[in-house]
Amino acid sequence: MNLPQHDLAPPIQVTRPSMPEFEAYVEMIRPLFETRWLSNNGAHVRALESELTDVLGVPYVSLLTNGHLALETAIDVLGLTGEVITTPFTFASTTHALVRKGITPVFCDINPIDYTIDVTKLEALITEKTTAILPVHVYGNVCHVEEIDRIAKRYGLKVLYDAAHAFGVTHDGQSIATYGDMSMFSFHATKVFHTIEGGALAYRDGAFKTAVDLAVNFGITGPESVEAVGGNAKMNEFQAAMGRCNLPRFRDDVRKRRAIVERYDKRLKDVPTLRLNRRAEGTESNYAYYPVLFKGDRRRRDEMMDWLAEHGIFARKYFYPLVTDFACYAFEANVPNAKYVSDRILTLPLYPDLTMEMVDRICDVIIEGGNRP
């Protein structure tokens, strides 16, 4: 196949943030230049928290400066100690949050179908020191939430979901945020819904609200009163304003993402060397990522990534290396499925502005690259 236009086309990154109209954002931040109330639980933060409780279907949503600090805050608020069972197939943040809080991560393998934590291997990892399970709805694929809930109840464990990828996802008609004790969402610029940087904790138990508030703002309870050793993880007004501009556009963005995913599926489903992401029955996805697994030798994935880059297409190895192989860690873990997937997975460009022509171009390059000797 002849692909001469590739050299001329602008590069395609794995993602590109969705942006509101410039004027809409300016209108949203204009009052801040009058009020000069820029942070510390301002009006936009309070309004966005309220708007998000509706979207996420939980009574409590607390906004934080980013998803990572939201995870660390949740670990504190839930009182996690000792060991926490988690997945190695995730972004660095999930494990770093545990380790930075003095907790030993215990790695459970993933299932090879949807890449979430393998619930059949969870119980064998529980010890007297286990206080919680920290699963990840990776790519927005829903963890086996009912089974995780059953195991947690049986052993008296807390469940904290890393839902960084899963904003707006529903399972059996129920918001993903309603599972477990708490869910953390990332609102980083690269996410389906973003506040530039940002994150949230969603939870049903009002008892956590005060503890989150204290943790996020230095434990301050009044002008002359500090009741807890909190830190600073406050979202500012410019972040929240961006969120308030983006939120009404979120459903439309998901529709655009779905159309792109359907096009990818159609073009790539019969490529014998590829295994596409499977979205579970009963799940309404947010189409956050488009991972493809290259079967066979792991070099196939690396060569394809280079081939795509030669054509100006920058896919990413989310998530390689596995957390357990990070230079800063020396964890022993029996996680063969995670290793297999991490060595072969590539996430293709996916964002609302990606045109069908670009998707076709990416697919053409992949198919041509796969046919090379």
Q: Which residues are marked as active site?
A: 191
Determine if 114 is a binding residue for ligand T4K (CB under 6 A).
no
66 binds ligand T4K (CB under 6 A): yes
Instruction: Name the one range near ligand T4K by CB under 6 A: 36-44, 51-59, 123-131, 160-168.
Output: 160-168
- 12, 14, 110, 201: residue in contact with ligand T4K (rule CB under 6 A): 14
Q: Please tell me the distance from the alpha carbon of residue 294 to that of residue 303, in angstroms, as a whole number.
A: 10
For the chain, the maximum distance between any two Cα atoms, rounded to a whole number of angstroms, is: 73
Q: Which two tokens stand for residue 177?
A: 């945020």
Phi/psi at 230 (5° precision):
-85, 170
Residue 197 token pair: 């940087």
When asked if residue 93 is in the footprint of ligand T4K (CB under 6 A), the reply is yes
Nearer to ligand T4K, 90 or 236 (CB): 90
From residue 258 to residue 277, the character string flagging contacts with ligand T4K as x (rule: CB under 6 A) and all else as - is --------------------
Taking the C-alpha atoms of residue 286 and residue 79, their distance in angstroms, rounded to an integer, is 31
Q: Which is nearer to ligand T4K, 274 or 323 (CB)?
A: 323
Residue span binding ligand T4K (CB under 6 A) among the ranges 52-60, 76-84, 158-166, 200-208: 158-166
Return d(Cα 289, Cα 280) in angstroms, integer.
15
Options 91, 193, 250, 320; binder of ligand T4K; rule CB under 6 A: 91
Question: Which of the stretches 12-20, 125-133, 212-220, 250-258 binds ligand T4K when contact is defined by CB under 6 A?
Answer: 12-20
Using CB under 6 A, pick the residue from 141, 186, 239, 246 that binds ligand T4K.
186
CB closer to ligand T4K, 11 vs 296: 11
Alpha carbon distance 359, 47 (integer Å):
37
Give the residue, chosen from 39, 81, 111, 190, that forms a contact with ligand T4K under the rule CB under 6 A: 190
* Residue 111 tokens, joined: 């299932």
Which residue from 58, 145, 164, 359 is in contact with ligand T4K, where contact means CB under 6 A? 164
Examine residue 343 and tell whether it contacts ligand T4K (CB under 6 A): no
16 forms part of the interface with ligand T4K (CB under 6 A): yes
Q: Which range in 13-21, 233-241, 270-278, 355-363 contacts ligand T4K by CB under 6 A?
A: 13-21
Is the sign of the CA dihedral 178, 179, 185, 190 positive or negative? negative
Place of tokens 């998901």: 254
Residue 36 CA to residue 143 CA, distance in Å, equals 43
In angstroms, the CA 31 to CA 58 distance is 29
Among 188, 300, 344, 361, binds ligand T4K (CB under 6 A): 188
Asked if 298 touches ligand T4K (CB under 6 A), the answer is no
Nearest to 58 by CA among 174, 166, 137: 174
C-alpha 197/C-alpha 177 separation (Å) is 20
- DSSP summary character for residue 117: B
Residue 40 CB, nearest approach to ligand T4K (Å): 20
Strand spans (E) along 267-343: 274-276, 283-284, 290-294
328: which residues sit within 8 A by CB, 6+ positions away? none
Are 230 and 219 spatial neighbours (Cβ–Cβ below 8 Å)? yes
Backbone angles phi, psi at 188, to 5 degrees: -65, 155
Nearer to ligand T4K, 192 or 214 (CB): 192
Residue 342 to residue 273: CA distance in whole angstroms: 16
Token readout for 138 is 């990776």
Q: Does 217 bind ligand T4K (CB under 6 A)?
A: no
CB of 351 to ligand T4K, least distance (A): 8
Q: Is 65 in the site for ligand T4K (CB under 6 A)?
A: no
Q: Judged by CB under 6 A, does residue 234 bind ligand T4K?
A: no
The residue ranges that bind ligand T4K (CB under 6 A) are 13-17, 66-68, 90-91, 93-94, 136, 162, 164-165, 186, 188-190, 199, 314, 318
